[in-house]
């Protein structure tokens, strides 16, 4: 058995009924990308795209609810979740967009509803821009895809040379902190274990750090030009039915980010979850999933 397969089995063995899915893999050139593909193959697909430091585990609750009538696809970005975690890899926004676009094409998905969170926003919207005709709806949850708004100091601190690597890879400070800072309601030990299971040592946390280092905060950052190109594409979303589902107590993607989305996409329907944090589908799982389901059915969330 390959090392990657052994690692995948180790993680799955710790999840039990919390993640009752059979992961599949796609070779995206230099690494295997793991993804969940649940529900009828002929049903309209919902593509869930996570951010950092989560993985497809973030979407387990809406997938369980929707997979009876919808095809639910949720990838793990390379370096995250059950995907391969190579030490030396192009952990850049453009490469993650390329990988997701390859998955969309490989599965030949059509009439997609794209649901994005955190870093999944620019990654998912990058794939949408590359394959615009395949997408019919968009759901934004606590994310951004534009310049001009600052990241919290706690995230900027994790980009500090040497200290950042020691904190994020050595002490799991980023993924570990997310299990408390990203929610308003305490997570159970089982759920905490689920979020953290793929990130158990220095080697497995490589992409958690690389994602933080790749946040485009200024024109000097390598992925800045990619983000600027995506930002220019946002006006093209005006004809795409869009819902904004927002955890209002997010320490990172604060209501200021939601307001910016509303300014840029005034046609979007908005539902605020006043007592939810960054992990909306943990703090308000039933309500957020119900709102998502209504939107998929063409009803205001």
pLDDT value, residue 173 = 92
pLDDT digits (tens, 9 = 90+) for 10-53: 888 888 889 999 999 999 998 999 999 999 999 999 999 999 99
Distance CA 292, CA 299 (A): 10
Indicate the angle between helix axes 224-233 and 93-106, nearest 10 degrees: 50
Q: pTM of the prediction?
A: 0.96
Name residues of the chain where pLDDT drops below 50: 1
pLDDT value, residue 1 = 37
Distance CA 203, CA 28 (A): 20
Backbone angles phi, psi at 32, to 5 degrees: -95, 130
pLDDT value, residue 5 = 78
Distance CA 85, CA 107 (A): 23
Distance CA 74, CA 63 (A): 9
Let me know: does 47 contact 71? Beta carbons within 8 Å.
no
Q: Which domains does the chain have, with CATH numbers?
A: 3-296 (3.40.50.1820)
Backbone angles phi, psi at 148, to 5 degrees: 105, -15
N residues, the chain: 301
Q: Strands of the chain (E only): list them.
A: 24-27, 32-38, 45-49, 71-75, 112-118, 135-143, 242-247, 269-273
**Residue in the structure block whose two tokens are 């990619």:** 226
Distance CA 61, CA 51 (A): 16
The half-sphere exposure of 3 on its side-chain side, counting CA atoms within 13 A, is 6
Distance CA 144, CA 190 (A): 29
Measured at the CA of 144, the angle between CA 63 and CA 248, to 5 degrees, comes to 70
Helix (H, G, I), strand (E, B) or coil at 41: coil
pLDDT value, residue 161 = 86
């Amino acid at each position: 058995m390959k090392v990657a397969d052994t690692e995948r089995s180790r993680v799955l063995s710790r999840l039990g009924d919390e993640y009752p899915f059979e992961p599949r893999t796609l070779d995206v050139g230099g690494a295997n990308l793991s993804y969940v593909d649940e529900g009828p193959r002929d049903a309209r697909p919902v593509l869930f795209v996570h951010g950092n430091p989560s993985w497809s585990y973030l979407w387990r609750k809406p997938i369980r609810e929707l997979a009876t009538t919808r095809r639910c696809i949720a990838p793990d970005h390379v370096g995250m979740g059950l995907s391969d975690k190579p030490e030396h890899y192009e952990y850049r926004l453009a490469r993650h967009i390329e990988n997701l676009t390859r998955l969309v094409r490989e599965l030949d998905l059509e009439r997609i509803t794209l649901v994005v969170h955190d870093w999944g926003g620019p990654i998912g919207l990058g794939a949408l821009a590359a394959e615009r005709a395949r997408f019919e709806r968009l759901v934004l949850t606590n994310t951004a895809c534009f310049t001009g708004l600052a990241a919290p100091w706690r995230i900027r601190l994790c980009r500090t040379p040497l200290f950042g690597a020691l904190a994020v890879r050595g002490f799991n400070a980023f993924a570990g902190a997310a299990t408390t800072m990203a929610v308003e309601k305490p997570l159970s030990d089982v759920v905490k274990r689920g979020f953290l299971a793929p990130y158990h040592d220095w080697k497995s946390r490589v992409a958690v750090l690389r994602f933080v280092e790749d946040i485009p905060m200024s024109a000097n950052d390598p992925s800045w030009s990619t983000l600027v190109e995506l930002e220019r594409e946002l006006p093209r979303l005006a004809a795409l039915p869009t819902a904004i589902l927002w955890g209002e107590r997010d320490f990172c993607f604060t209501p200021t980010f939601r307001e910016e989305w509303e300014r840029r996409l005034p046609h979007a329907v908005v539902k605020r979850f006043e007592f939810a944090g960054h992990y909306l589908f943990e703090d308000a799982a039933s309500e957020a999933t119900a709102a998502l389901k209504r939107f998929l059915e063409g009803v205001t969330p």
